[in-house]
Amino acid sequence: MPKTIKNLVFTACIGLAACGGGQSDRSAVTTPTIPTAPMLRDQTTIPIGVALAVGSFERASSIRYSPQASQLRNLAAHEFSSVVAENVMKPEFIHPQEDQYNWSDGDYLVKFAKDNGMQIHGHTLVWHNAIPDWMNNYTGDWEAMLTDHITTVVSHYSSDISSWDVVNEAFLDDGSVRSTIWSTHISDYIAKAYLAAHAADPDAELYYNDYNIEAMPKKLDAVLNMVSDFRNRNIPIDGIGFQLHIDRYWPSTTQIRQAFSRCVAMGLKVRISELDIRMNPNNTATTLTPELAELQRQRYRDVITAYLETVPYDLRGGITVWGLTDATSWVTGYYHMPDWPLLFDANFQRKPAWTGMSEALIATP
């Protein structure tokens, strides 16, 4: 077990919580206590990221509108070196009407990141979910519409965002192409999306992002076959994002290593893009017991170690956890059962899971 770490209270007056955007700070007065051990961002030179909620529609967890916004900003800025928008850069929120873009929340996140020396990863340009009604009901030139959307968003952030999830979740677990409005209306839409993103920002790194590719070989086959096809046609793609929404049992560390290795063998950059680890997949627990917390510490340590030992330094796109605290994770609402999948508890305190990740970062160069 890790040694006990003394806590200290640090206050918002440090200034790392400060962020522009013209919003008054309506957050609570109290601030979290944070241990004195080195922050995750200081334990490695690769990007250590977190997905952040920003919009008013995700008020409970928003770094802009939540009653605990300043605490959320403090924690994110101190522990992490990279950020990604959990939702506000998805088409439904950033492009709500054909002739209207909502830059406010995305710009707020970018300013927050820049003020705190953090990288920004863009998520996501093309997905089968989070599509505005006007896109679903579009009757014009679909290819021109999609190209315009990608070009406008990437160009707007080209000076600030250096990497993008261009296409998200385009394949089913059996390796077949998912049927979406994009596949229905645009032939070869995935390739065309990457060409548009590259044209808008030739310097940006372009990723394909998906879930279960660490555990479903046919799905990863489809992704890597797509990459091979792209290379034959000179279509740019730099890396693969492994979401890694996993649990205490599944998949095995061996499976994860094998999947990473297949991408490395092709010279692809690898990101752990949306990491969280469910500890109650069978709905048998009502609280995170010390025993479960210790298993989660080991699981985080093993997964991060697998990444660092399998992916060489120059192909590491970084590690991002999907949310800040257990209290605001998407997991509990989606699965309708209690769970504790992240590194920090509802009181902003580091969990043993944080220690497991730290142990792996410190131990593996």
Chain segment 221-245, per-residue pLDDT in tens: 999 999 999 999 999 999 999 999 9
Position 200 pLDDT exceeds 50: yes
Q: Which residues are marked as active site?
A: 169, 274
Q: Which residues, other chains included, contact 195 with Cβ-Cβ below 8 Å and sequence gap of 6+?
A: 235, 236
Handedness of CA 189, 163, 122, 326 (dihedral sign): positive
User: Considering the chain, what percentage of its residues have pLDDT values greater than 90?
Assistant: 89
On whether the CB atoms of residues 220 and 260 are closer than 8 A, the answer is no
The whole-number pLDDT of residue 365 equals 78
Helix axes 189-200, 142-156, angle to 10 degrees: 30
On whether the CB atoms of residues 353 and 297 are closer than 8 A, the answer is yes
- At residue 236's C-alpha, the angle toward residues 235 and 241, to 5°, is 125
Domain boundaries 7-363, corresponding CATH code: 3.20.20.80
Q: Is 156 exposed, middle or buried (0-12, 13-18, 19+ CB in 10 A)?
A: middle
What tens digit of pLDDT does each residue of 170-192 get? 999 999 999 999 999 999 999 99
On whether the CB atoms of residues 351 and 293 are closer than 8 A, the answer is yes
The whole-number pLDDT of residue 36 equals 54
What tens digit of pLDDT does each residue of 266-296 get? 999 999 999 999 999 999 999 999 999 999 9
Dist. CA 136–CA 261, nearest whole Å: 38
The mean predicted confidence, pLDDT, of the chain is 91
Residue 272 — φ and ψ, nearest 5°?
A: -85, 110
**Can you give the residue ranges of every domain in the chain?**
7-363
What tens digit of pLDDT does each residue of 38-84 get? 999 999 999 999 999 999 999 999 999 999 999 999 999 999 999 99
Position 106 pLDDT exceeds 90: yes
